[in-house]
Amino acid sequence: MAYRVFAVNPGSTSTKIALFEDGEKLFSENVSHDSSVLAQYGTLYEQLAYRERTIEELLEREGVKLDGLDACVGRGGGLIAMEGGTYEIDELVLDHSINAENGVIHPACLGPSLAKNFAERYGARAFTVNPPDVDELQDVARVTGIKGVYREVHLHALNLKETAIRHASGIGRHYDDCRFIVCHIGGGVSVSAHRDGRMVDGYDIVGGEGPMAPTRCGGVSIAGILRYAGNADLRSLGELCTKSGGFVSLLGTSDAIEVTERAERGDQFAKIVWDAMIYQIAKGIGAMASVLQGRVDGILLGGGMVHSDDLVRQIRESCGWIAPVSAYPGEFEMEAMAAGAVRVLCGKETAKQYTGRPVWSGFPFE
């Protein structure tokens, strides 16, 4: 059966939309929203009607009809940590997402509401797939050396899992039967260990763990941060984790292409910063190999920077002895959302129900 799925992925000043049928992308667009109009709204929720209207206007201009939809899928920001999978959008999902229940206020919080509104209009089901706060950590990965402080992960779960699912299918296997190290290397850098269909370890890239990235500082010693903090306030320290660290701090740009071009023109510092990021990614891959006891079916690289032949070459040279390295340049977010919906519609998976309770809230034996 050919399923029609409409995917919606809100960003800071635009919303990505895409229409799929039978797995094929029929239409996609990045719908721009006037930043001066967005600035007039005090909350994300107040933006909802405006964003929905601009999407409708673009679809009308392009002559795109959404009749016959089977499902609408929205990016699921704001939700409490949960297992990976496809979740039916219900009132609890709507409430938690729009109110950023997890404390992370991001336009992705509008995704479920947009999807639900379009779904109700066209008589379709509404889903969210592998939201940003997927948490499938094994217990031993949660412990830190500070009582009461536990590790959590914030990763590119949607793209990481879709890359793994696609690769497994490509080698004639099922994701649930494989052991992969999966990386997303783009504006942020995620390195994760996947075993038997679960993302059992990875880094908290929002909190500053893992490799540095174009706008993220990555892992830095606590002593180093304390020394730096003498000249910085808490807000600027927090921004190092997500906005002003990495390439921005070191080279004054978040553009990876600019960094590589500067390196090629002889900028020695740009060269060492670029190589250092790749070095840190390779170290992270090695760490995840130990998590999987060295039994790794593949190392998978996705994200925009994977278009760089130099990056892929360096990782292959450093990590190819662990397992074959496969490159999937770019990202599959829209395709991943549609694919998650189709897996439920065709009966390969069962839609999960969001509970609003953290998937893990402490050890019972403490």
pLDDT in tens, 269-311: 999 999 999 999 999 999 999 999 999 999 999 999 999 999 9
What's residue 366's pLDDT?
77
Q: Output the furthest CA–CA distance in the chain (Å, rounded).
A: 62
What's residue 189's pLDDT?
96
Residue 178 tokens, joined = 């494989």
**Reported pTM:** 0.92
Query: Which pLDDT band holds residue 224 (cuts at 50, 70, 90)?
Result: confident
Query: Which pLDDT band holds residue 40 (cuts at 50, 70, 90)?
Result: very high
- In this structure, are residues 205 and 190 in contact, taking their beta carbons and an 8 Å threshold? yes
Residue 151 tokens, joined = 């590790």
Query: Which pLDDT band holds residue 18 (cuts at 50, 70, 90)?
Result: very high
- CA 146, CA 342: separation in Å to the nearest integer? 43
48 DSSP β-pair partners: none
Domains in the chain, please, with CATH?
A: 4-135+334-345 (3.30.420.40), 157-330 (3.30.420.40)
pLDDT in tens, 80-118: 999 999 999 999 999 999 999 998 888 999 999 999 999
- CA 305, CA 257: separation in Å to the nearest integer? 8
Per-residue pLDDT for 242 more than 90?
A: no
What's residue 48's pLDDT?
97
What's residue 12's pLDDT?
86
